[in-house]
Structures are given as structure tokens and as C-alpha cells.
């Protein structure tokens, strides 16, 4: 049943009609648990609150299915405003974004132009930027853009997904860039031709790339809510003598809040991924696909008076 539900919600996450309807009707159906609000002002309040609790943040202005250059430019403008807000309020926050929201599906030229505008602003305000990873067809284009921009801007990272067969090779090829990488299991529906289908295989590959990237001496963000992966990372860094400032744990806003605070109190760097904006539907569906408990929470919210 869990696999069926996961497939269903991943399928729904790519439905453009549902995405448009979600924009129209706002943050309902429990999405507000995982999304900080529809505006930058609302998101800034959430970031400040998390900082006061000892948690760092990466903020993401949600956007999918960007197919026009003008719309991509507006998305980039919002990212620039987010960077300025972080700098103005001296918040402990980075910026995450998807290249499709910057116009990658329009053309690489559009995406690169928008990224250079964003990164110039990020450099001025000393805000780190991460290129989120998307589905398999966009994996190589994302890494190509990352490599090109990394030569111009040092404060830039990207994401590697453990469920893809190609991942270990990607880690090896990226090593020459000494990259700051967010390592994740992966949240898109992929075919067995390109991705592991069994959880145990994904978990083993996840551990493998965590170890490889850390032992390469590169900064590693371990993005997971899985206690087994968290414990593996803690044991690994202790056993290998890896310094605390070479890695961090990352978790999603609204998921395992107590664990986030627990890790922070133990002295680990914990960064919370905080999304905001009206285009929340696809992100929300992927969160439902990840954990059945999230579905139960939403159903409970629908019938709560």
C-alpha cells in the first residue's frame, strides 16, 4: 500500500492542472505544515524564529513548470529579493532554487542569465546558493550549469541523489570542484533503468556517498529524517575524526521538529529547508509521497473543525 500511495502522489505532483488550482485556492489541505507561507514577509518570520532556536535555514521560493522567459525572470527577481531580505535582517539563511524555475526548460541561456544575476547579488550579501536537483532528465543539465557557474562563483553548491545509479560517479567527477553538496535519497518517481527501486539499496548507496564525499574532504550536507542514516553519519565522523565544521544535517520544515532541536543541542549544525510561495502543490505532493504519516496528518486536518 505504501508503494502504491507513493506512486500516486508522485504522479499527482506533476499534474499542471492541479498545480494551477492549488495556486488559486491557496495553502489548504495541510500544506501550511510544510510551507512557510505564500509571501517573503511570512517566510522571514519563520526564518527568524528558527534562528532563535539555534537552527540555520535554506529558503526556497517554490516554482515549477516555468515555460516562459518572462516568468523565469520574475522568479529570479523574487530570489534576489530573498537574498536582500536575508542580508538586511542578518539572518542565518542560505538560498535554494530549482533551475527549471530559472528557465532551464526555456533554454540554458535564460537559466544562466538569471543565475548570474542571482549569484552577483548573493556574493554582495555573502549568501550561499544551492542548485536543487530535479528529476533524472534534468540531472546532467543541472550539473553542467553548476560546473560552469562554480568557475565564476565559489559560494555555490548543488544536490546529489542517492537513488540514482550514476550518483557515485557524479561524486567522483565533482570532486575536482571541492563542492559543497547536499546529499539526499531522492524524491522523484524514476524508472528502474536509472534508479534503485528498493529502499535498502538506496540506503546503502546513501551511506556510500556520504562516506566518499566526507573522506574527500568536502563540505557535506546530509539531508535526511532517517535515524539510521543520522546515526551512521555521527559514527562515521567520530571514527574518522572528521571536524564538526565539515558537515551539517538538513531537514525539511515541518518534519521531525523535535529531532532538529535535539541534534542542534548536541552541537551539530542543523539547517532547515524552508519553502514559501504560491506554487506549493508539487512540493507538497512529494512530501506526502515520502511518508504515510504525512498523509494521515493532512486527512485529519481536512475534517478538523
Residue 225 marked ligand-binding? yes
Rounded Cα distance, 301 and 288, in Å: 14
Residue 282 marked ligand-binding? no
Residue 87 marked ligand-binding? no
Reading the block at residue 288, the C-alpha cell is 506526502
Residue 304 marked ligand-binding? no
Q: How many CB atoms lie within 10 A of CB 288?
A: 24
Exposed/middle/buried for residue 300 (C-beta within 10 Å: 0-12, 13-18, 19+): exposed
Residue 300 marked ligand-binding? no
Residue 185 marked ligand-binding? yes
Active-site residues, by number, are 132, 182
Does residue 265 sit in helix, strand or coil? helix
Residue 13 · residue 280 · CB < 8 Å:
no
Residue 169 marked ligand-binding? no
Residues ≥6 apart with Cβ < 8 Å to 76: 102, 114, 115, 117, 118
Residue 161 marked ligand-binding? yes
Rounded Cα distance, 192 and 178, in Å: 30
Residue 130 marked ligand-binding? no
Residue 178 marked ligand-binding? no
Binding residues for FAD: 133, 161, 185-187, 199, 224-225
Q: Extract the annotated binding site.
A: 98, 133, 161, 185-187, 199, 224-225, 286-287
Residue list for the binding site for substrate: 98, 286-287
Amino acid at each position: 500500500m505504501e508503494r502504491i500511495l507513493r506512486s500516486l502522489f508522485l504522479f499527482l505532483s506533476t499534474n499542471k492542472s492541479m498545480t494551477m488550482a492549488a495556486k488559486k485556492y491557496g495553502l489548504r489541505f495541510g500544506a501550511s505544515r510544510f510551507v512557510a507561507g505564500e509571501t517573503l514577509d511570512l517566510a522571514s518570520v519563520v526564518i527568524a524564529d528558527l534562528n532563535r532556536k539555534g537552527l540555520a535555514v535554506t529558503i526556497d521560493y517554490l516554482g515549477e513548470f516555468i515555460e516562459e522567459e518572462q516568468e523565469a525572470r520574475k522568479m529570479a527577481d523574487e530570489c534576489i529579493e530573498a537574498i536582500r531580505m536575508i542580508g538586511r535582517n542578518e539572518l542565518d539563511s542560505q538560498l535554494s532554487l530549482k533551475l527549471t524555475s530559472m528557465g532551464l526548460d526555456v533554454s540554458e541561456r535564460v537559466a544562466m542569465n538569471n543565475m548570474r544575476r542571482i549569484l552577483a547579488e548573493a556574493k554582495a550579501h555573502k549568501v550561499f546558493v544551492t542548485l536543487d536537483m530535479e528529476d533524472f532528465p534534468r540531472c546532467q543539465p543541472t550539473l553542467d550549469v553548476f560546473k560552469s557557474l562554480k568557475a565564476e562563483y565559489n559560494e555555490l553548491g548543488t544536490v546529489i541523489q542517492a537513488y540514482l545509479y550514476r550518483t557515485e560517479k557524479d561524486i567522483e567527477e565533482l570532486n575536482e570542484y571541492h563542492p559543497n553538496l547536499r546529499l539526499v535519497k531522492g524524491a522523484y518517481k524514476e524508472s528502474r533503468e536509472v534508479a534503485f527501486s528498493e529502499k535498502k539499496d538506496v540506503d546503502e548507496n546513501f551511506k556510500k556517498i556520504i562516506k566518499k564525499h566526507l573522506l574527500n574532504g568536502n563540505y557535506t550536507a546530509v539531508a535526511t529524517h532517517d535515524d539510521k542514516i543520522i546515526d551512521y553519519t555521527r559514527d562515521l565522523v567520530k571514527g574518522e575524526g572528521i571536524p564538526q565544521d565539515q558537515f551539517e544535517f538538513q531537514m525539511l520544515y515541518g518534519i521531525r521538529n523535535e529531532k532538529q532541536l535535539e541534534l542542534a543541542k548536541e552541537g551539530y549544525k542543523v539547517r532547515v529547508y524552508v519553502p514559501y510561495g504560491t506554487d506549493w502543490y508539487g512540493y507538497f505532493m512529494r512530501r506526502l509521497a515520502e511518508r504515510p504519516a504525512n498523509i494521515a496528518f493532512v486527512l485529519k486536518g481536512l475534517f478538523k473543525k
